[in-house]
Chain A
Amino acid sequence: MAFPYEHEREVRILSRGWGDPSARTLEGWKALGGYKALEKSLSMSREAVIDEVKASGLRGRGGAGFPTGLKWSFMPKEKTGLQYLCCNADESEPGTFKDRELLRWSPHQLIEGCLIAAHAIQADHVFIYCRGEFFEAVQVLARAVEEAYAAGFIGENILGSGISIDITVHSGAGAYICGEETALMNSLEGRRGLPRVKPPFPAAVGAFGRPTTINNVETLCAIPHIMTHGGAWYREQGTEKSPGTKLFCVSGHVVRPGNYELPLGFPLMELIHDVCGGLRPGRTLKAVIPGGSSVPIMNAAECEACTLDYEGVVEAGSMLGCASVIIMDDSTNLVKQVRRMVDFYAHESCGQCTPCREGTQWMARILRRIEEGRGTEEDLDTLLDLGDQMTGTTICVLSDSAAAPVASSIAKFRDDYLALIRRGERVGAA
């Protein structure tokens, strides 16, 4: 049975087992070459593993795009006690739905990646922090971990290497903010999921007070392939600065939304019109959010020449984030969608920092008023000013994320706001 999301231009590396239930099993995964990379990596020194990952140029897939090999090298050279690897499977960024597929279709790929990474950073224990809502994916993953334990891939003295690594699957309980790495650690420790002040950075003081590295599911899933084929091979895909393939989560107003694994640097318009089958009949493109709800909105003109790599999207006026491409056609009530996103941030703000706690809710209220036709032009200035106050002033970047779609939509789609304001003025609602 073919997986529903599939296109001939895809380069399926991470997603190659998708749609095939047998790939979920240990035997099936081994048939696809699974756990060879683990064997190879365990025979290498940890420094050599990190060098290989550095050579691949792999960048973190959680949104920030920080080079993975470099991140690993921040861990202490001399181990003084327990160290941890946390796998961030708390996928909750609106528009993002790649990690769930990776977890439930190729759990062994993730396990293998976790083990290699744990070896590279000398972690004793891997915690896979899964989003609480992922009941099915967690079941699949837990089952796979169990199988890998039984087969000796996890646990004491793995494959006779003398290296011991444990993996625990952990379920969250419904909080977007726990996808932020320090909040994730707090949540893992059984606390409220509040982001921590940095420094100290997790590589020095992380989960349970010990050196910790946090990597996204997709990042870790790429590791076995890099270790099998080498960093140079990985660089054959993608661009110079953004090498490799990326899972693009396309949602919204296209004919075939879905996950598509494409080389970084893929042109946005080709993604929409070729891979995803274009817009719904008779519609024109209005706006695109290229990296999940936290990044600035792009208008149709900006999309024209945009290539989907970390640098290309920045050039076009936004950010790649986790490559969650949300497509909006001309039928979209943009103000409503922006309001919905800000509602989300207001709901998910942890409430620590004042600008975020008060600002997200305030913005949501103003946007609701504008949507209902009770807004004024002054409100737009207030929104922009609040956005400034919420950007770069808090512990984590949730409030920046809330401000980004507001500021960018007012800048690029001011007429949409004005239309609602004018309509309200005409009927005297304000």
Chain B
Amino acid sequence: MVETVTLTIDGLEVTVPKGTTILQAAEAMGNRIPHYCYHPGLSAPAQCRLCLVEVEGAPKLQASCVTTVTPGQVVHTQSESAKTQRRGVLEFYLKNHPLDCPICDQSGECKLQDYVHEEGRPKGRSREPKRVLGRDDFGGDVLFYGDRCVMCTRCVRFMNEQAQDPRLTVVERGNRSVIDTFFEEGVEGSPYAGNIVDICPVGALVSKDFLHKARAWDLDRIPSICPNCSQGCNIELHVRDNLVQRLKPRDNPDVNQHWMCDYGRHRYEWMNRSGRLLLPKPGEGRHAGGNGAGDIALAQSLPEAGSWESVLGDLADLLVDARAEGAEVRAVASPFASNEDLGALRRFVDALGGGRIVFRSPRTDEELPLPGFPKLVRRRDLAPNVRGAELLQMSRVGSDDATGGLDDLVGFEGILVVMGDDLDDMAPDFGAAARVFAFLGPQVPRQLQAVTCLLPTVTHAETEGTFTNFEGRVQRFWPGLHTHGEARPAWQVLDLVAAAVLGDGTVPESAAEAFQRLADDHAVFQGLRYEELGTRGALVNDPVPLPGA
């Protein structure tokens, strides 16, 4: 039983666990007290002096970020003295601030802008010249604009407490103090350094990658899951012009707290890749054409695109024949596919008589933990859904760079389904011996020339669905990009073909239904409900972490 404390903040009573600070208690009731130096994932030095509130009975204003609640406490965040204090402190912040919002990346999501707009003086009184520090390259992806800095020291504390790679410090003292590294040695190579850009409340620390790329107010922010390793960090896709512009971490205390690694953060360009498969196309059968000389050449070498109905209808016919003749079925899946896609593939293969499904996943030897929150690790598997694939009895093959391992399929004569793996390392005649060779994927496969049909599918950034992370946590992602051409979710394509082959008409109409069917089909997912996964996810039954994930 958690001991609780009841207090009054701005006339409203609130009951919070003992030991909560006033700032957290206020936040719990939707009252955000302005602050800079406080961050929920870091220690609180109480030095920005912006979160000072009036507590009845206290002689001075109290720093709400370090003052714990006491029973019967009466707090005023909007009293005249608290507001005067905030107005005064904000004026001090602007004393040396360059006010270069028009060229500042933080503009629009800047706490200094927000607070001054809300409560600042309409006009500053300083007539003195401003201090000028200029710009400093901190190495890695980080640029430092000293003049914009509010000296909250969040970045220093992140590097000390969370990254435990104390490369930042406050240099000098008083008005001359500035954040710096050890002379020319920057934060380069520190695997979590990108987070200091996220937690900087102003535009002092900015990302080189994002520099002058987009304005904050033009970005759509879509909750998603980082697809770059099996940790499953909760992130936001920041999208403009149907392109992902950057990735930002999203809070999830069970997975990544407030953080994400630089490895994941900087691998988003592939979601914007061109060379997409736009329309479903029949292959040329055992065609001879094509020489693998690039996307356009291949696209031109293929027959005209058809409609989904005709292409899927033709495929179903081929499959019915092959099945009648007792052809075996084998499949290659991808650990970048959602649970729904993998579940549909499993069902599809089982419906055709059952067969081995393999997948290839990029993998590294190096784990990169965040020492201050050791549960957050850049995992060895560099794909988001390895766990999901394994739970559906798919087997990992190939080497750590996601190549090889498919030799037994080269001369395979049955039904071959490839979902999401480009097979770029295989010979152009891969699958030539197969009776039917269906390819599903977002990209035009550059090498393959023996496919029966090419079926365009969406990436996870363009649809909704779930991934299962290393420990068996099923987490939702949401669509952030418009899809290209007529691409569809793979689960839908497979289910439509399966329905046509089996003559059984139940095709899920949404990712939610696809997930529900997965949960019904497989004991390990039983009991999970798509709607209840929320933004924090839920663990599968009997979750055992992937060995060496």
Which residues does A use to contact B, with CB under 8 Å? 175, 177, 192, 197, 346-355, 357-362, 365-366, 369, 382, 385-386, 388-389, 392-395
- The reply on B274 being an interface residue by CB < 8 A is no
Within 8 Å by CB of B173, from A192, A369, A382, A395, lies: A192
B128 to chain A, nearest CB (A): 4
B409 to chain A, nearest CB (A): 63
> Are B174 and A354 closer than 8 Å at their CB atoms?
no
Stretch at the interface among B88-96, B224-232, B477-485, B491-499: B88-96
A360 with B175: in contact, given A352-B45, A353-B47, A354-B49 (CB under 8 Å)? yes
- The reply on B79 being an interface residue by CB < 8 A is no
- The reply on B46 being an interface residue by CB < 8 A is yes
With a cutoff of 8 Å between Cβ atoms, the chain A residues found around residue B150 in the complex are 354
Within 8 Å by CB of B128, from A192, A197, A360, A366, lies: A366
Chain A residue nearest to B61 in the complex (CB):
A393
Could you write out 14 A-B pairs with CB less than 8 Å apart? A192-B170, A346-B174, A350-B174, A351-B170, A354-B50, A354-B89, A354-B93, A355-B88, A355-B89, A355-B92, A369-B128, A382-B125, A389-B88, A392-B61
> Are A361 and B175 closer than 8 Å at their CB atoms?
yes
With a cutoff of 8 Å between Cβ atoms, the chain B residues found around residue A361 in the complex are 174-175
With a cutoff of 8 Å between Cβ atoms, the chain A residues found around residue B61 in the complex are 392-393
A362 with B95: in contact, given A353-B49, A395-B47 (CB under 8 Å)? yes
B interface: dominant SS:
loop
Chain A residue nearest to B87 in the complex (CB):
A389
**Most chain A C-beta atoms within 10 Å of own C-beta, residue among B50, B93, B170:** B170
Cα distance, A353 to B175, chains bound together (Å): 10
A425 to chain B, nearest CB (A): 15
Extra contacts, 20 of them, besides A197-B45, A353-B48 (Cβ < 8 A), are A192-B173, A197-B66, A346-B174, A347-B174, A351-B172, A351-B175, A355-B49, A355-B89, A355-B92, A357-B177, A358-B175, A362-B128, A382-B125, A385-B88, A389-B85, A389-B89, A389-B92, A392-B60, A393-B49, A395-B47
A395 with B46: in contact, given A175-B173, A346-B175, A360-B175 (CB under 8 Å)? yes
- The reply on B52 being an interface residue by CB < 8 A is yes
Within 8 Å by CB of A350, from B48, B92, B128, B173, lies: B173
With a cutoff of 8 Å between Cβ atoms, the chain B residues found around residue A348 in the complex are 173-174
Contact with A along B226-268 (1 / 0, CB 8 A): 0000000000000000000000000000000000000000000
> Are B126 and A362 closer than 8 Å at their CB atoms?
yes
Cα distance, A365 to B172, chains bound together (Å): 19
With a cutoff of 8 Å between Cβ atoms, the chain A residues found around residue B176 in the complex are 351
With a cutoff of 8 Å between Cβ atoms, the chain B residues found around residue A394 in the complex are 49
B394 to chain A, nearest CB (A): 53
B355 to chain A, nearest CB (A): 64
With a cutoff of 8 Å between Cβ atoms, the chain A residues found around residue B95 in the complex are 358, 362
With a cutoff of 8 Å between Cβ atoms, the chain A residues found around residue B174 in the complex are 346-351, 357, 360-361
With a cutoff of 8 Å between Cβ atoms, the chain B residues found around residue A359 in the complex are 92
With a cutoff of 8 Å between Cβ atoms, the chain A residues found around residue B84 in the complex are 389
Cα distance, A95 to B264, chains bound together (Å): 58
Chain B residue nearest to A349 in the complex (CB):
B174
Contact with A along B64-75 (1 / 0, CB 8 A): 001000000000
> Are B45 and A349 closer than 8 Å at their CB atoms?
no
Cα distance, A394 to B37, chains bound together (Å): 14
A338 to chain B, nearest CB (A): 17
Cα distance, A361 to B173, chains bound together (Å): 12
A390 to chain B, nearest CB (A): 8
> Are A354 and B151 closer than 8 Å at their CB atoms?
yes
